[in-house]
Structure 1
Amino acid sequence: MTTVSVAVPRKGRPLEAVLDRVARRVDESSRIPTDSSTDVTALADSISSTLRYEKAITKGRQEVAEDVYERLAAYSSLDHPTRPEYTLLRDDRDGRPRRIVFDSVTIPLGDTDLQLIGREEPFRALRTHDFNLGFDSADLVLEEVVGLREEPIERISDINARIDPRDTDVRVVGGLGDTVYHTLMGTPETCQRTDVDTFDRKFVEAYEGPLCISPRYERLVQAVLGTAATDGVTFQYPDGGREEEASIADVGLGVYLTMTGSTAREHGLELGERLFPSETVLMENVDGESDAISFVEELLVGESQESALAV
């Protein structure tokens, strides 16, 4: 029996996307024995439901009688090898409450055991060779290792060509399609400040002035706009405690994540080009390839993947 360990996020939408993908692909695969005793769909649903419930408790939307240690003991058991385990982290909210998050689960796949292990920073765990496979946001790759050039990065499929092999052995394999977008947005007044008729990268290239972004996305924005477009642009950051869209409305122009854009419109902002997809991606440290790892890669991504990697 071979075990392939995969680093995954501990909570949130990215972890749910991973669990959904694992359940669906195991159900579809003809290479997984049909007599497997593990209902992967039910297992994935159980983990997601537990973490949503715990998030509601942490946010004060749900009251419970049991303390956090009693709940943790009820969720986890070492007696059942395929039962998920959980752990505690300090949450960032006021008072820094302890929050129950995902720790690990083992899923039998015929001759291979797939072990999902929670990490706060899966991408960095791959960079340090602690894991050969892992899921994390494509944003982190842009924030940390892609080279900045005059030309923009427009698609996830562009990322690997921008990674210096001397910097890291990690490469993007494919994505999960849980996409939201880094979107250009601005006030109607700002949108009239250049001779460019389209509200896109060309507009930013012709624009000079402040651009509001989250501090953590400065390098990402430079990569997806291209350094030529950001000449003459001064980055500004949202005021603490305010919605990013409100700060962008004050500045006049900005880049922020959107799904529907409704909050941006509520602040009087116009939506421009979707600059780059923010998506959970499977990554591999190519220094540790093996037949078992290739099997898991094909299972988790495969030819039918809906990712922007194929765009």
Structure 2
Amino acid sequence: MSVVSVAVPRKGRPLEAVVERFARGAPDAVIESADDIVSTLRYEKAVTKGEAAPEGSVYERLERYSDPDSAHAPEFTLLRDSRPGMPRRIVFDSLTLPLGDHTVRLVGREEPFRALRKHEFALGFDSADLVLEEVVGLSDEPLRELSEVNDRIDPLDTDVRVVEGLDDTVHHTLLATPDTCAEGPLDRDFLRGYEGPLCISPRYERLVEAVVGTGALEGVEFVYPGDDDREEEAHIADAGAGVYLTVTGSTARDHGLVVGERLFPSETVLLENAAESGPESEAVVDALFAAPTA
């Protein structure tokens, strides 16, 4: 039986969502491997951020995490952090595991979506945000749901399409100070009448244009959080309005912000390159999203 390779993120919430989905209803060894990946990378993130004291050098820890005698043990590797003064970081490399009647090899990539665009894989997981940032067409009509994304992708641009989300959802949410939105609901219609600064992350310009519609941004000036250590909600409060990822909105309210419309779900999605897909990869998709048995 051949092995179906699937590109996945090397770290972070999207990788956790992926391994948790593959572990659902899986043998105990796979569940243990998924737990191992999550706990190891959370610890290594804490080490990188200076929130935990490392137990041994990075090379000693990397050796300790390896188990060459286990068929389903995860493998890790080192990633050089590009930020000045930051150490090498341990990240996910690969894991081979059963999925129904198939064998899947999860392969860590810095940019799974781009690996699919280059036809290196038939299947992969990445943030829906990256799809919006790179390939969706812009329109005056706002993009509201994941189900609308594929209709906005130019088939001449890429063969990659969104298959389904993993429901690890946070939302790009419209936020503003009470004075800024005093005259009505804080929603997309508010933006059509708003003129002034809108604080966003620099990498989300195209995404924000897609989810609010280009016409709503006339008279709006994108501004970005400063270089200080304050939370992004503090910078939005300085600007008067902004778009940021929220779960409950509690941090935004702590900064005196009104939590407005949820503009678009940010979640991990399964992606498929139709030009590379075949019966085996399609069977993996079917098995992955099959209803769990009681």
TM-score if structure 1 supplies the norm length? Answer: 0.89
Identity %: 64
Provide the residue aligned with 1:134 in structure 2: 124
Residue number in structure 2 paired with 1:309: none
The correspondence of residues 1-311 of structure 1 with structure 2, limited to 5 A, is 1-24=1-24, 26-27=25-26, 39-91=29-81, 95-109=85-99, 111-192=101-182, 197-241=184-228, 242-302=230-290
Contact kept, 8 Å, 2:176 with 2:257, in 1: the verdict is: yes
> Does the CA contact (< 8 Å) of 1:2 and 1:111 recur in 2?
no
Tell me how far apart the structure 2 counterparts of residues 208 and 51 of structure 1 sit (CA, whole Å): 43
- CA 1:93–1:62 in 2, change beyond 3 Å: closer, same or farther? farther
Q: Tell me if the contact between 1:9 and 1:135 (Cα under 8 Å) persists in the aligned partners.
A: yes
Residue range with higher mean Cα deviation, 62-71 or 249-258: 62-71
Letter in 1 for 2:197: P
* Structure 1 unpaired stretches of 5+: 28-35, 305-311
CA shift in 2, pair 1:179/1:253, >3 Å: same
Other structure's SS at 1:287 match = coil
Note the C-alpha offset of 1:61. Answer: 2.5
In structure 1, distance between residues paired with 2:264 and 2:123: 23
- Which is further off, 92-101 or 68-77? 92-101
Q: Please state how far the C-alpha of 1:180 moved relative to its aligned partner.
A: 0.5
> Aligned-residue CA RMSD in angstroms?
1.6
The letter for the 1-side match of 2:89 is R
1:214-259 deviation per Cα after TM superposition (whole angstroms, max 9, x unaligned): 1100000000000111122111111113321111111101101111
Conserved 8 A contact 1:170-1:286? yes
Q: Deviations over 1:258-279 (max 9, x none)?
A: 1111111111110100000000
In structure 2, relative to structure 1, the CA distance for the partners of 1:302 and 1:231 (3 Å cut) is: farther
Give the structure-2-normalised TM-score: 0.94
Structure 2 distance, partners of 1:289, 1:273, is: 37
- Mapped contact 1:8–1:136 kept (Cα < 8 A): yes
Conserved 8 A contact 1:186-1:254: yes
Shift of 1:136: 0.4
Q: Give, in angstroms, the shift of residue 65 of structure 1.
A: 4.0
* Inter-CA distance 109–252: structure 2 relative to 1 (3 Å threshold): closer
Q: What is the alpha-carbon distance in structure 2 between the residues aligned to residue 99 and residue 11 of structure 1?
A: 10
CA–CA distance in structure 2, aligned partners of residues 301 and 125 of structure 1? 22
* 2:216 aligned counterpart, secondary structure: coil
2:106 is paired with a residue whose SS is strand
Moved more, 254-263 or 147-156: 254-263
- 1:51 shift after superposition: 1.2
Deviation of residue 169 (structure 1)? Answer: 0.4
Structure 2 residue identity aligned to 1:220: L
- Do the aligned partners of residues 46 and 191 (structure 1) sit closer, same or farther apart at CA in structure 2, a change above 3 Å counting? same
Change (3 A) 1:80 1:303: closer
Unaligned runs of 5+ in 2: none
2:215 alignment partner, SS class:
coil
- Deviations, residues 176-203 of structure 1 (Å, cap 9, x unaligned): 11010000000111002x5xx3210001
Matches of 2:153 and 2:291 in 1, distance apart? 23
Number of residues paired by the alignment? 291
